[in-house]
A and B are shown apart, each in its own frame.
Chain A
Amino acid sequence: MTKCREFFHGLRRDWQLVLLVLPGVIFYLIYRYLPMYGLIIAFKDYGIYTGIHGSPWAGLKYFQEFFSSGDFFLLFKNTLLIGVYSLLWSFPFPIILAILLNEMRLKSFKKLVQTVTFLPSFLSTVVVCSMVIDFLSPSTGIINTIIKACGGEPIYFMTKPEWFRTIYISSGIWQQTGYNAVIYLAALTSLDASLLEAAEIDGCGRLKKIWYIVLPSLMPIITIMFILNSGNIFKAAQDKMLLLYNPATYSVSDIFSTFTYRKGIVENNYSYSTAVGFFEAMVSLIVVTVTNYVSKKMNDTSLW
């Protein structure tokens, strides 16, 4: 009771702040929480004219349909594999780049490389994907020009499922390495110089210094970044995937988020799409919670 009184007293005291925070709260309620409520259409036969409330309940029909269709296994596999491979392949590059930059003695050159490698992460997905497709074009693309010059047959890269993950991941590495290296570079600035000096006096070479001093001192941040990134394993970039994939590569490139897009926006099957999206959201929530728990256990660093 007193708690309640205190609360209203606080509201009166902070009325100016309440007024300021109100528009934001309304935004969150309408555009973040109302859609969560809208998830109930996954359990209904949503019709455009009947609306959310007027549509009849469908129970778990769409979930059953999804789980019993061949799509489920394929999507799950594709989403997971893209996520895991992206994590494992892309993860080492920023660390290597940061260490190499840190060892660079020509300061102006270091600055130049850092500035330039940082740039691609701000290019739009459309531009990056355009470049990827142009580069790999069988008729004019530079890669195929090289293949042809060496006497090979041009490869239709974008239609070959076996090439898809390589293309997706390597273009991601090209785009994100400089951006992700910033964190490690920041950590390297606080490196204990006396340790390095001591090692030098003991006759330690550059490679040995990197291996025995620089890398171990980066280990805590590497662990944190790895755990945090594993939380995103289920969140392959929908917008990039939609640009790079096509029916010829669906067998490896179709993931939950592209499937919900096709079912919902293209085929207007709102309930089915929402059911799949709901499932995806639950799985990624579990993944994030687990990684966050692990991170908390390991080094007191967590998102919450």
Chain B
Amino acid sequence: MKRKITVFDCVNFLILSAVLFITIYPLWYVLCISLSSTEMINSGTVTLYPKGFNFAAYKQIFGTSKILRAYSNSVVYTAIGTMCCMAMTIVFVYPLSRKNFVLRKPITVLITITLYFTGGLIPTFLVVQGTGLLDSMWSLIIPNIIWTFDAILLRNFFEGVPAELHEAAIIDGANELKILMKIYIPLSTSALATIALFYAMGQWNSYLLPSIYITSYEKLPLPVILRDMLMEDTNSNPNSIASGQITPEALKNATMFVSILPFLIFYPYLQKYFVKGLTMGAVKG
């Protein structure tokens, strides 16, 4: 049935177009600034498209070891972190999804408490320090290797795997690890992909923990370098702008753009997993 287009439809279209513009524009603006010349940026005339078009900022990124090194650090931390986290989470959650597992109740209580109460910044820092992880990549991975909320989601998902499959495997003489590898993991690839994505995004974006735990400059991941660029003029006072010490706007915006680029490239393919993760959380098992 074809209904005619009403005033409501037009207004709705206009509102959503405005929403679309407001969402896209800041990102577009970052790209424009990164491609504009310094004079044009400082004159404040860059608004809708790059002016004084050039790639100087990007050349500078790939010419300076500082940003490139931070970039590769981020890639390494995210890749290794995500793999470790997934392995830990899967292995940890599988026994909890088994209804008659003897420790199911106590461990569920143990992990649920941590959702509501934590030791806080300094005590956690002291433990990380005490376990000798400070200033190493592992300080960003091990202290948060299991995300409780995602673990509970995955447990709920695992509980949905039919018990008959499990029984059949036992009769065939499979051990628990084998059942996990051959039945549970293949059956939950989409849920696992979702959790891995959320974890990878979290690791890629985190700046606060690395800035606390990592002390050597050459081990810092990209977000911390970005934060430092940002902090140089965060007070936005006129003096700091005149000092000439700050990172050129173009370079800063180019770094920002490069940092979100991998995500932007994969986003269209990954979006359905993100959405799935959200609705997976909404439907409580």
Task: Give A contacts to B, CB under 8 Å.
Answer: 7, 10-11, 13-14, 16-18, 20-21, 23-25, 27-28, 30-39, 41, 52, 97, 100-101, 103-106, 109-110, 112-113, 115-120, 122-127, 129-131, 133-142, 144-145, 148, 156-159, 174, 178-179, 182-183, 186, 205-207, 238-239, 242-243, 246-248, 257, 260-261, 264-265, 270, 273-274, 277-278, 280-281, 285, 288-289, 301, 303-304
Contacts and interface: CB of A to CB of B under 8 A. Distances in A.
A157 to B, nearest CB: 7
B98 A140 contact: no
Nearest to A183: B282
Interface in B172-187: 175-177, 180
B119 A34 contact: yes
A124 B259 contact: yes
A243 B235 CA distance: 10
A277 B120 contact: yes
B226 interface: yes
B208 interface: yes
Interface stretch (B23-31, B51-59, B188-196): B23-31
Contacts, number: 279
A16 B176 contact: yes
B236 A117 contact: no
B20 interface: yes
Interface in B219-266: 223, 226-227, 229-230, 233-238, 241, 249, 252-253, 256, 259-260, 263
Given A142-B47, A159-B236, A239 B208 contact: yes
Nearest to B283: A186
B162 interface: no
B117 A285 contact: yes
Contact of B256 (A21, A127, A178, A183): A127
Nearest to B110: A28
Which of A134, A183, A242, A264: most chain B Cβ within 10 A? A134
A139 B126 CA distance: 43
A172 B103 CA distance: 41
A127 B47 contact: no
A123 B107 CA distance: 34
The 7 closest A-B pairs by CB, nearest first: A35-B119, A24-B92, A38-B123, A10-B102, A124-B205, A277-B120, A17-B95
A264 B122 CA distance: 6
B146 A126 contact: no
Given A159-B235, A270-B126, 15 more contacts: A10-B102, A14-B95, A23-B88, A35-B119, A36-B123, A100-B12, A103-B12, A117-B23, A124-B204, A127-B260, A174-B26, A206-B6, A264-B121, A265-B122, A273-B122
Interface of B: prevailing SS: helix
A100 B16 contact: yes
Contacts of A285: 116-117
A140 B44 contact: yes
Interface in B1-57: 3, 5-6, 8-9, 12-13, 15-16, 19-20, 22-24, 26, 29-30, 33, 41-42, 44-47
A16 B175 contact: yes
Contact of B235 (A123, A179, A246, A301): A246
A243 B227 contact: yes
A91 B146 CA distance: 30
A239 B207 contact: yes
A18 B114 contact: no
Contacts of A135: 26, 29
Given A35-B127, A238-B208, A21 B96 contact: yes
Interface in B59-92: 88-89, 91-92
A156 B144 CA distance: 38
Contacts of B161: none
B126 A123 contact: no
Nearest to A284: B116
A273 B44 CA distance: 42
A145 B44 contact: yes
Contact of A123 (B46, B118, B120, B205): B205
Nearest to B267: A119
A31 B141 CA distance: 11
B116 A288 contact: yes
Given A140-B41, A186-B282, A133 B234 contact: yes
A169 to B, nearest CB: 15
A157 B120 CA distance: 32
Contacts of A159: 235-237
A118 B127 contact: no
B101 A182 contact: no
